[in-house]
A and B are shown apart, each in its own frame.
Chain A
């Protein structure tokens, strides 16, 4: 890895930093300022003398400490689950012929198109006392009379389902760029499948693993919607407490202080993941390579593990793949079935009667179409802006070191680590400024802030795995830098850009927390609309909306695949 000129790095970093400074630094500063306020009164004047009263109250209270520990444990558990289920899925995805990849992508991405409230209902039906899991376990005598709902397990399952696509796509990004010949070489030297995985595939996918684990941990430790629906209020996460303090108790300082603590552990985790990557994959560091102190197991143990792995490995891999696909798709089939169910509320299990009325209701009442159009326009604009900023930023991260770069990178990742509720509360305080600008611009500013860390993280993985020899070859043949970029770099980045763009679109499309603070009467997005319905009583109309979205996406993918040669987009 050659190092480029620091000045180029700084210039490439400017767009992302400037946007975040304008749109994120203000609410972020508000949250920081609120966290050092003494008085919880919503109308107390803001004092510029910092007080650590809020932090002392939180960190000195065993209840809060227990909740913090449980939330971190939940995040780690969900991340581990996502890794274990994500690898088989990502390997399967990367190994498919390019013709079939769009459909496999659909399997992974479609859950992200369904509203999280709706998906959680599917998990309820899975884990209920009369649900599928209990029915499977009953012959073995392991069924629980109360089902598996309303506890940490249910919340973990729901969160794994919600965040698995992000892990799969991060890993896919790495795996698709890995050199096939290395795997073939290992196989030709006599390595069995599991050995190839642990010895070749896994190390090569470490950048993707780093990005995936960081994203999944940060998102699952700040989540609160799934925890609220599936935890039955017996499960408390810090995200739920932030929401309760900020919105129900109107106690912004405590909420802000807790958010800053969540921010701290998020940054800590990202830092540790970065260090782990450098230690485990020294060939990727642009600095001088350090000798990797490998962690060596005793030789006898290794032989035993390898033997066991050779036998059980492929079966375990297939079982995990099936489990992953089931977890992603089963709740959605329930959603589709429920959309034809003639019942008054969306949560009813058991099929009563067949009806199309919920589909009719979409077009008649409630302006779902308008909200859908708003969501699509907003998401498309947000994706374009994010990619335009994230690409130079990723290059700056990988190739052009300059002093202070780690601090800039940490700033870019901050929106990931701050709970969305806190961002919303911070936004509220600067609301009068936001109201002055057109609503679409205001929402666009915020959505890009929320998406850019994902794009940078994913594109960084792709840029890391670019083969510079190709660019040098093009340059040596006389191509100017812009031609090299257009004809060599961009096509090689196509899979990474596609993945980043799709994830960015889906995140923006599904964002509800911050958007519900900024929504105005004329500009409502689809998830806010659905969330508003859930605030009263959810009718199966939302299931019909989700089913239509899924069908439309699959149809669109099939159509595009038919007429446009997108093989290069899905594979190199």
Chain B
């Protein structure tokens, strides 16, 4: 009877369905956008150089998660080659690469600038899928540089500050692990961008061998672990811990999101925005539909009176009203899910370029990621919303005085 009642005023029912569907579609699209943002940010963080896990001496990360703070610590990971090879042999590990964080001054002609250095093993970075955005010049070669063949990639801002272009020779000065100082000529191999303006102003990237020569050490700061699937990060860390415990130096493996606290902040921000939007959709749909539902109910007062007269209880007539709304919610939610999914496909097809987020450099292509769970959630949400919208009318119906309802026109 509830379902058939929806067909009594088709125009009104259609209007309700449209409101519900658009509300559902809005939620689906928003979920797709948020997921796009989260996934995009996550992969950008991981593939941008952070890797999935970082193995380093325990305590290096405590209260000093930023690269700048950690770069002040001398490389302490000795015997890293064997550890790297052991970790690489583990399942789902694409590659493991040594990394050194260091700071110093870079000079070119009469210009100098401080740099934040990261030394890597380029071949392993590529196997991990860690991408370097080359602005000009070339990436570091796989092979370790020989003496006097040291190369460096400069962040775009740093290159500008030094007035250096690929092919130029610059001088790097850095404190050695012994406490003195050393300088080294390096050739600029390329200019890169991290995607973050502030980091580009200081970023310098070299081969691990180059940094070790400059710093006067055979150690590295850490090992970056790249996995074949970001979702396996926690499991990979758990599997690695027994191996790390065997090391004479206490080691720790830290996930990428711990090393990128701003990801959690961005995520919280987005969740808050999404919740706020969901609240607005909730209110809009409730307000729009509850009035419509109330109108349809008030037009049937005598009918409800009759049902009450012939023995239908208050709860049953109220349930009838709610059930009608739930049917509306189901149909509207299904329509909304389908509409949202369809619109997402369409939007992705159009390939809209989003402006770079604050602090970033490159624009992003919008690619909404709608998961089945989003469609289900939108459906359930709309059903719940319509259910809530029907509560007031249901209460009104339940409170009808039978004799008054029967006398209603």
Chains A and B are bound partners: no
Contact surface of A with B, Cβ cutoff 8 Å: none
